[in-house]
Structure 1
Amino acid sequence: MPAPAHLTDRHPTVSPERLIAQLVPPPTFNDVSFDSYRPDPAEPTQAAAVGFCRRFCEEARKNREGKRKMFGKRETLPGVGLYLDGGFGVGKTHLLASMYYSLAGGSHPAAFATFGELTQLAGVFGFTECIDLLADYVVVCIDEFELDDPGNTTLISRLLSQLVERGVSIAATSNTLPEQLGEGRFAAQDFLREINTLASIFTTVRVEGPDYRHRGLPPAPEPLTDDEVAARAEGVDGATLDGFDELCDHLATMHPSRYLTLIEGVKAVYITGVHPVDDQAVALRLVALTDRLYDAGIPVVASGAKLDTVFSPEMLEGGYRKKYLRATSRLLALTAAGMEL
C-alpha cells in the first residue's frame, strides 16, 4: 500500500460554478427527512420543532408561488424566516437539511450553505449579483449562523432582507439567539440596527436536549504516539498524514471556503503532534476544518494532546466560546470513529 498523502501538499481552488454546486446539504445528511428525525421523549421542544419546520415549508412554498391576481399574474409575497436555536448535537442540522429536501423538489431551487459559504458567495459574485443569483430560490438554508465581524453583519443583514422581499424564505440554525449575534466578538451595540433587522426576519424556535454525539461515548481517548499514528495511517487506503503545526500553517494559505475541496476524496485524517493553541486566527481555521470533516464524516486519529484540550481555557471564556465547544464536540465524535478504524 502506498504511503499516505498529505493535506499540506494539496492546493485547491474553488470556481464560482463549484461554489454554486456546493449549495447542498453535506454528505452525512444526504438521506435525512422529518420522518427520520427521532425526537427525545424527554425533550418536548424537539418534537415541537419538527412541527414548526413542517409549517415553515408549507408557508415558504405558498409564498414563493405568490398570490394570484387578475389575468393569471401572481403577486410576489415576502419570504418567511425560521431560526432554530439550541445547543450542540440536538439535531438542528438534521432538521435544516430536511427543510431543504422538502422544498428542493418543487418549481424553484433551494440552497443550503454554512454561514461562511454564504458570505464567500457574496464576495465572489458581488452583492447585487448574489441577490440576483438567489432571488428565484424558494429557500436559503444557513447552517451555524454567526456574525464574526461588523462587515459580515452589514452584508448579511442587507442580503437576507432583500432576498426576503423577493419571496425567498430563510431557515437558519445557531447556538445564539438572533438578537445576541455578535456579542463578545465586536462592538455589537454599534450595529444594533443591522442585528435587529436580522432578528425581525425570523421566528425563533428553541431546540433543547443533550448532545447526541456523546450519548454512551467514553471521554476523549488517550492520544497515540506519533509512530502509532503514522503506522495506522499506512494501513488505511485514502488516508492523509500531517503534522499539526504544518497543517495549521497550510490552512492559513487559503480561504476556509476551500477546505471542503481540500479534504475531497479523503477517507481518514491522521495528525501528529497536536497541542493547545492560543492564537484566535489559528483556532478559528481549525473550527472551519473540523466542521468540513464532520460534515463529510471523515474520521480523525491524532497524537499529542487530547483533542478536547486544543482550545485554551482563555479562548473558551471569550466571544467564540460556543463555536469552540461545537468544534470540540465534533472532534470527539470524529476521534471515536477514528479509533474504530
Structure 2
Amino acid sequence: MDRPDGPLGDVVAALSGGRAAAQIVDAEGRLAWVSEQMVMMAGADEDTDLGIGHHVDEVLEREVWRALLTPGAVETLRHDLHPRLDDPAGTHAPLWVLALDLQLGERERTVGLLGVTLRDADGAALGAALIYTPLLPARVLAMVSEGDEAMFTRMADLAVPAQRPAAIVFADIDGSGPLSRRLPTAVYFELIRGITTAFDALVARHGGIVGKHAGDGASAYFLRDEPGGDAAAATAAVRLVQELPGAVDEVVADLVETGVELSGDDCRLNVGAHWGADLFIGQVVTGGRLEVTALGDEVNECARIEQVATGGQRLVSKTLVERLDEAAAAALGLRPRSMTYRMLAELGRDGGTAGGKAERDAGSLAVHDLS
C-alpha cells in the first residue's frame, strides 16, 4: 500500500516497523493509510476498496469496516476523533485511549485504541494515528509472546471452522501409568512438560498446528492448504514421527543430568499418523482456552492407531504414506514400493492396548511401523 508523502509518511514508516494494526487520518479527515496488519484483521485483501483518500465518515460506512467495527465502535470512534481533527489550536490532549468492540471472525472482542494527534514541527495539524492494541495485562502478553508466531498465525487463519484435509499425528507415552507412580510427581511433571515442549517445537518447525494435549498425550495437524499440497503435509507429519524419539531422548538426558534415574526405554512414545480427507477443523475459544481441534472419522481412526501402538511403535497409515510423492518419500528415506502393511485389528490382537475398540472402529486400516 502506498505511503503518504512528507511527515505522515514518516509516521507510517514507524508504525509499519512495529507491525501495528493502525490507520492514519489526515488533517482533512481523510483516510490516508491502513497498515497491513489492520487489513488482515479486517479480512480484506489488496483488491478491497478500503476508502483511502475519502473522508472517515464515508469510510466508516463501507462494508469492510462495518464488518469489523460494531455499530457502537463506529459511533465511539466518530465521537472522539472529530473534536481532535477540528482542533487547530490543540486544546485537546494529544493522546487518548478508547475501548472498542470488534467483530473478529465469529466473535465480538474488545480491543484498545490509542489515538495520537499528529502535528508538524511548527505545530500545524497533520491528522491522527489510530493504533489498535489488545486489552491484556503485560504479563499475559509476555506469556503469549513465548509462543511460536508462525504457529499462532496459522491458528488465527482457522477462526472460521471448515473442511480442511490434513495429516494427523497422535502421540502418547508407553506405560505412563507405572512411570508416573515410580517417579516423584515433580519430576514426572518436568518430564511431561519437556516432552510436550519438544513435541510442540517440532510441530512448529515443520509448519503444523498443535492440537489438544491431554495428560501425557499430544496431537498435531498438518494442513493441505499450506504450500505443497498433500505431499508436503504428509511429509511434515512423517518427519515429526521420525524425529520424536530423538527429541524425547534429549529431554530424558537433561533430566538424567540432574540426578533422575531414568532411561530412554522408560519414555518411549507410541505414535499414530493418518490422513484425514474429510476433517472439519477450526478454533475452540472459550474463557479458559484457545486451541484448534479437528473432528471427523479419520481423527478417531488415528486415535485408534496410536492406542494400538505399543512399546514405542510408530504406526503410519497406508493412506498417509500414499500421499507422499517420489521426491518426498526419498527425502524421508522411505521406499514406499517395498513397504508392507498390517491390518490394525491384527496388531490389536497381538497386544495393542485398544482391544476391541480398534477392531470395531478402524480394524481394516493398513499401517506400517516406522520404528
Q: Same fold (TM over 0.5)?
A: no
Structure showing the higher strand proportion among its residues: 2
Which structure carries more helix by proportion? 1
Q: Which has the larger radius of gyration?
A: 2
| Higher RCO, 1 vs 2 (CA within 8 Å, ≥6 residues apart) | 1
